[in-house]
Amino acid sequence: MAQAKRTRKKGVLCVIPARYGSTRLPGKPLMMFKNLPLVMWCYKRAAQSGAFDMVCVATDDRRVHETVRKFGGEAVLTSPRHASGTDRVNEVAKKFDFPYVVNLQGDEPLISRALITQFVRKLTLLDDNSLLTCVSYATIEGRDDPNVVKAVLNRMDEALYFSRAPIPFDRDGGGKTIFAHWGVYGFTAQSLARFCSFPRGELEKREKLEQLRALENGMRIVCLTTRERCGGIDTPQDAEAFRKSVEG
């Protein structure tokens, strides 16, 4: 049975894209930590923040869909042909028609409720050619780690570029701040549709960073800076560190 479209004149939808076939960590959304799958750690953080009018998981895998439903969450099955998580989010956003949409990555289980609330408050100030994301201060170890995405900002806290390389290059060794990117994005419904209307960019394909598609097409990326440590789980080492932090 087709799902009826739900129209909202105001409010914020949170969509958590969850792909089972992760190349670096296969089956990542269903990895269990303290008897709860990883994707539900993120789901519960979002739901408990109170910042969203609706939270749901977007996945093309029935195992993920069924698991989320089993643990009391809402999930939507999407097309398996999407090139990125944001394209998957856009499919779900069209079903529910909220004016603001947050793409919260399913491997960011440590994002705080306070940061989510601050992020959503800033999101409602965006125009339809902009998106919002989050950066923190990179650790010394993270500077050379390609799994830690670096960001360069202008003086208005807008992104100039994102890379897996340690940018900007510090020629004189002055030790200036390097920013690390968090896997969370905020859009108006129109800016999300605009982003997804563009073909994948050359920089996006080379760096494997979907946010570069926006910069390649002249969209503005506003960055919220936080002192919280990025808690993305991209490698077996990240998963083990998270396991130790929650299981002791």
**Two structure tokens written together for 48:** 């408990």
Determine the Cα–Cα distance for residues 149 and 104; give it in Å rounded to an integer: 16
Is 163 inside a domain boundary? yes
Pairing type for strands 150-153 and 100-104 reads unpaired
3-state SS, residue 74: coil
> Which CATH number characterizes residue 216's domain?
3.90.550.10
Domain containing 112 equals 12-247
Asked if 20 contacts 228 with a C-beta cutoff of 8 angstroms, the reply is: no
Asked if 104 contacts 166 with a C-beta cutoff of 8 angstroms, the reply is: no
Is 4 inside a domain boundary? no
Q: How big is the chain, counted in residues?
A: 248
Is 6 inside a domain boundary? no
Query: Measuring CA to CA, which residue among 68, 82, 8, 4 is closest to residue 38?
Result: 68
Determine the Cα–Cα distance for residues 185 and 196; give it in Å rounded to an integer: 13
> Where do the DSSP E strands lie in the chain?
12-17, 32-33, 36-37, 54-59, 75-77, 100-104, 130-137, 150-153, 159-163, 179-188, 220-225
**Residue 220: strand pairing partners:** 130
Domains of the chain: total:
1
Per residue of the chain (248 residues), give pLDDT as tens: 344 444 445 699 999 999 887 767 788 999 999 999 999 999 999 999 999 999 999 999 999 999 999 999 999 999 988 888 899 999 999 999 899 999 998 888 888 899 999 999 999 999 999 999 999 988 877 888 898 899 999 999 999 999 999 999 888 877 678 899 988 999 999 999 999 999 999 999 999 999 999 999 999 999 999 988 766 788 888 889 889 888 86
Is 3 inside a domain boundary? no
Q: Provide the whole-model pTM.
A: 0.90
Is 194 inside a domain boundary? yes
Pairing type for strands 150-153 and 179-188 reads antiparallel
Is 64 inside a domain boundary? yes
Place of tokens 């995405």: 149
